Amino acid sequence: MKKNIYFFAYLEGWMSITINSLLFVLKYWAGILTGSIAIIADAWHTLSDSLTSCVIIAGTKFSSKPADKEHPFGHGRTELICSMIIGIFLFLIAFNFVIGSIEKLKNHEAVFFGRFAIIVIIISIVLKELLAQYSFWAGKKTKIRSLKAEAWHHRSDALSSLVILVGIFFNRYFWWIDGILGIVVALLIAFTAYQILKETISNLLGEKPDDELVKKLHEICFRIVNSNLFIHHIHIHRYGHHSELTFHIKLPGEMKLGEIHDISLKIEKEIKEILNMESTIHTDSLNN
């Protein structure tokens, strides 16, 4: 099963590298021919997808390694590190192109777009959105966070190309349109980076269990115990595809130790089968 999960990540990575490298060459060529900083910025944005895909392939390979003595919970959090690298890289790209666009506006540089540039931008929009759709699908299927980050990276590239395409048709009326578009593209890249880093850092810091998980946990426990119990101190620790769940349950004080042990084992088994999580249960007495 895990091999199938990581196959989708590898496939997305190699598809991204191939398509984005081709688009980079086309966009950069179009940018040089027209002198457009917006198209050149978009080209580097596209190439950054190839570079981050390399990070994803390497990260996926490392995160798929089994647990060992030094890392008893596996290497799943490598995916989060990959997402952080992608986010930081995007911020750096955005900053550089804001500076370049401001310089172009200061120098009153105008740009003349041709048919070739328009065709390249349209091709880029279509291919990048297709890559984004596949990455969103693969991320949802595999639960690999870095694939979701990569999907937003693809979509931000498609959106930035769309902004440039709209701007091209206004270029004949406003000499400053290319410099403004360069800033707009940079801001789109920066916003994508912010979204990726916000989600990744939140996960690294630790998040409380969501309401759906708590509801399912209660259903499992009540189905097995069939008596009064109180669930509290629920904590979850995520390591990629491996999750550790710990919580306390209060059971009637007259229960025997062996009976409590059997109940705990049944609950842990159900949680593993239904929620695919390893769990550790601490039992308290309802009489306390």
Alpha-carbon span 87 to 160, nearest angstrom: 17
Averaged pLDDT for residues 218-247: 75
Could you tell me which residue, 43 or 200, shows the higher pLDDT? Answer: 43
pLDDT value at 68 more than 70: no
Alpha-carbon span 66 to 68, nearest angstrom: 6
Could you tell me which residue, 30 or 60, shows the higher pLDDT? Answer: 30
pLDDT tens-digit profile of 136-178?
888 887 777 667 777 877 887 787 788 778 777 777 777 777 7
Alpha-carbon span 198 to 131, nearest angstrom: 23
Cβ-contact 78, 240 below 8 angstroms? yes
DSSP letter for each residue of 97-117: HHHHHHHHHHTT------HHH
CA distances from 49 to 19, 54, 96, 139, 144 (A): 10, 9, 16, 16, 17
Averaged pLDDT for residues 63-69: 64
Calculate the CA 275 to chain-centre distance: 22
pLDDT value at 102 more than 50: yes
Binning the chain into helix, strand and coil, the percentages to the nearest 5 are 70, 10, 20
> What average pLDDT does the structure give for the chain?
77
What are the chain's domains? Answer: 2-205 (1.20.1510.10), 211-285 (3.30.70.1350)
Note the pLDDT of residue 241.
58
Averaged pLDDT for residues 116-141: 87
pLDDT value at 250 more than 50: yes
4 falls in which pLDDT band (50, 70, 90)?
A: low
Q: What's the first-to-final CA gap in the chain, in angstroms?
A: 44
pLDDT value at 211 more than 60: yes
pLDDT value at 1 more than 50: no
Q: Which tokens go with 272?
A: 């593993």
Averaged pLDDT for residues 236-242: 67
Note the pLDDT of residue 126.
92
Could you tell me which residue, 148 or 248, shows the higher pLDDT? Answer: 248
